[in-house]
Structure 1
């Protein structure tokens, strides 16, 4: 699903992103100069409420496995967002990009194996790493009382060595 676009304005890459809950009317892409092979290609910037440019993400070059088509992949992330917004940018005929929201799972045609966590640009742990899917046993009984270890008055701070 397309959620924005980047166009060339006076030699700079500028644009917008809009979803149901996010409205970034002015974003920019700043080229990253680095000798590190793992460095992003671009930093994603936007104006904050004080009208200062701040970084809210980064983009790495990627290629579709089947076609070899090159695109940019990354995330928009900020403390004000409940979770990162994964995006992909596809070149368009005007020298800019179409911005698409993407699920944080990797399809096989994008170079992954089809499950979350398979990409080098983010994702959740692989299903086999999740164990039984829980965070551990509960310390609350049916009526909300403390049960199990620590139920006899021992505080959690007493068990944590500092």
Structure 2
């Protein structure tokens, strides 16, 4: 899913990133000057409410396994976020980049992220997150006396 774009503006790479809950109207890519082989290619900086540029992420070069296409990948992070936002940028320094986001974990049918590699999660680790079933072994509805009313907290 595309969540922004970064284009060359007066010799600098600037743009925006926005999701339903994140709005970074001024984002820039600052080249990293390092000889270390694991150093990022760019720092991601954003203009804060005090109108200062602050680092909110970093990007490294990557290559797509299937197509061999080069792209940039990294994340946006800030104490105000519940977790880092993984991003990938596709394009070039000269033409600009499309900023894409991809969920690292699959969602289940109800929209929540799966936590155990596709196994349903619930209070007791089974049942898809809604506790035990109200159906008996033969598929019939269990009576109230068959159900455990205790709710673990």
TM-score by length of 1: 0.63
Larger Rg: 2
2:131 aligned partner: none
User: 1:93-128: CA deviations, max 9, x gaps?
Assistant: 9610000012236xxxxxxxxxxxxxxxxxxxx96x
Q: Which runs of 4+ in 1 moved over 3 A?
A: none
2:57 aligned partner: 57
Instruction: Give the alignment of 1:62-101 within 5 angstroms.
Output: 62-91=62-91, 95-101=95-101
Higher helix share: 1
1:159 aligned partner: none
Seen in structure 2, the aligned counterparts of structure 1 residues 143 and 79 have a Cα distance that, compared at 3 Å, is same
Structure 2 SS opposite 1:27: strand
TM-score by length of 2: 0.67
1:26 aligned partner: 26
1:150 aligned partner: none
Structural RMSD (CA): 2.4
Number of residue pairs the alignment of both structures matches: 113
- Any stretches of 5+ residues in structure 2 without a counterpart? 106-115, 118-123, 125-149
1:41 aligned partner: 41
Is contact 1:16-1:25 (8 Å) kept?
Answer: yes
2:11 aligned partner: 11
User: 1:67-88: CA deviations, max 9, x gaps?
Assistant: 1100000000000111110000
Seen in structure 2, the aligned counterparts of structure 1 residues 28 and 93 have a Cα distance that, compared at 3 Å, is closer
